[in-house]
Amino acid sequence: MNLNHVEICRGLTSNNFAQSLVAQLDRKGSLSPKQEYWVEKLANESIVAKVPATNAVTGLDRVNDIFDDAALNLKYPKIVIQFADGTDLKLSLAGPKSRYHGAVQLTDGRPFGENQYFGRVENGELILTRDGGARAVELESILRSMSTDLGTFAKMHGQKFGNCCFCRKELTAGPSLNAGYGPICADKYSLPWGEDVAPEAAKVMRPWARSVDAQVAYDEGADITDGASDDEK
């Protein structure tokens, strides 16, 4: 049994059941498996309930690094994925006009003023609003897997939804479907591309590559029109 969890239960002074479990442990030196189960359950519920308010979520520096690096190649780097309930989650870099300049902003991607603002990642720390707090566990999980391996993260998204999580372009060419993102975004976000693509297959990519201009226009236009990169707060 996790002793931290025992201490968490000890701190639940208004919960008579938790107090009874701790008192029995103190008296007898051990608990039945069923009682231990309840200690874990009460402690875990307590931890989850406290995440938005007290437990700092840190160690997400890689999320900031991904956007800082991409900003060397792109004016408005962004990643758009979905929560389990289908709500969009858009990550974008706060521009110089934002009070959180340099932070990675987390919204539902709708235009400023109508959007939900979940919070931001700043110097590796996840800072949540009330909307974000309601999704704290899922947000942390998403950001951690993104930090661990962006390529695999993007691949899983692309193969599940059939579009690239960076530019939202539909994945149609075989190599892109296989990778889960296109060659342009692979380049902009420093992701692996082409090791498994034969030269002949690479030539097939030409029609896709011809849409670079369209993609860039889309990327920049989308952010200019909704102002999301600069004006969220």
Q: How far apart are CA 109 and CA 226, in angstroms?
A: 9
CB 189 within 8 A of CB 166: yes
What count of residues does the chain have?
A: 233
Helix (H, G, I), strand (E, B) or coil at 65: helix
Nearer to Zn ion, 166 or 193 (CB): 166
We find the least distance from the C-beta atom of residue 139 to Zn ion, in angstroms, to be: 23
Give every CB contact of residue 49 below 8 A, 6+ residues apart in sequence. none
C-alpha distances out from residue 6 to 14, 32, 40, 51, Å: 15, 14, 8, 18
Least separation, in Å, of the C-beta of 180 and Zn ion? 10
Comparison of 12 and 201: residue with beta carbon closer to Zn ion: 201
CB of 148 to Zn ion, least distance (A): 20
Nearer to Zn ion, 219 or 232 (CB): 219
Q: What does the binding site for Zn ion look like in residue numbers (CB under 5 A)?
A: 164, 166-167, 182, 185
Task: Report the nearest approach of Zn ion to the CB of residue 166 (Å).
Answer: 4
Contact by Cβ (8 Å): 116, 131: yes
Kindly tell me which of 128 and 164 has the beta carbon lying closer to Zn ion.
164
